[in-house]
Amino acid sequence: MNKQAHVKTNKLPKPQVQGNFSLETALLERRSVSSFQKTSISLDELGQLLWAAQGVTNPENFRTAPSAGALYPINIYAAVGNVNGLEPGVYKYRPHTHDMVETGNVDKRDALCRAALIQTTIRQAPVVIVLAANFEKTTVKYGRRGFRYVLLEAGHTAQNICLQAVALHLGSAVIGAFSDAKVSRIIGLDRGYTPLYLLPQGKTATASK
């Protein structure tokens, strides 16, 4: 049986490349959010966050975040709970086609919260963006130094998401304390990938550091 025929693809709205929110203001206002409102975000907002993370920006397939050797070892997932026009579940972002493939149809936020030492920000957020990396994609070319390059790229990607969230009048948090094995199982990561970041996104209730 051809499993590919059963893959559910969700096309995302075209990303905006011109806004009325300056980079300087986004840098000034960026904070890690400690709680979120119990309200949804739009599919446009989710799509914009994913594009900011690693969207394709030119005909040579370069992206919004730099990558050593243009190898792009980062996969991006959205654990969706409350996004208008989108069923709860897990979705894998595909930069080249700016769409998402559904990889699971169950709301995984509570499971992610438990895997991340009961950090309730994860459970509250309407969506949690997960960054995962295949280190071998980069180390095969750059050797041990490639580990550093992958981590640098993950940082670039996460910061893009955080700044885009501010420009959308959303809040975000950056979480690295979790069980790798549990998050990998919950999200259903591709073989060879390791989770690096959980980034809850949503409308801000309160802000902290």
Decide if 181 contacts 113 (C-beta within 8 A): no
Span 12-49, pLDDT tens digits: 999 999 988 999 999 999 999 989 998 999 999 999 99
For every residue of 15-60, DSSP letters joined together read PP---SS-HHHHHHH--BEEEE-S--B-HHHHHHHHHHHH-B-STT
* Residue 32 CA, distance from chain mean position: 15
Q: How far is CA 129 from CA 5, 184, 200, 206, in A?
A: 26, 13, 6, 20
What stretch of H or E contains 112? helix 109-115
CB atoms within 10 A of CB 142: 15
Span 75-102, pLDDT tens digits: 999 999 999 999 999 999 999 999 999 9
For residue 82, give the DSSP letter: S
For residue 195, give the DSSP letter: E
* Residue 19 CA, distance from chain mean position: 21
Q: Please report, for the chain, the start and end positions of each structural domain, with discontinuous segments joined by +.
A: 3-207
How much is the pLDDT for 55?
97
| pTM exceeding the 0.75 threshold for the entire prediction | yes
Q: What is the residue type of 195?
A: P
The span from the CA of 157 to the CA of 142, in Å, is 20
**Three-state DSSP class for residue 166:** helix
Span 163-186, pLDDT tens digits: 999 999 999 999 999 999 999 999
How much is the pLDDT for 56?
97
Backbone torsions φ then ψ of 197, nearest 5 degrees: -140, 145
CATH class of domain segment(s) 3-207: alpha beta
Show the tokens assigned to 194.
Answer: 């390791």
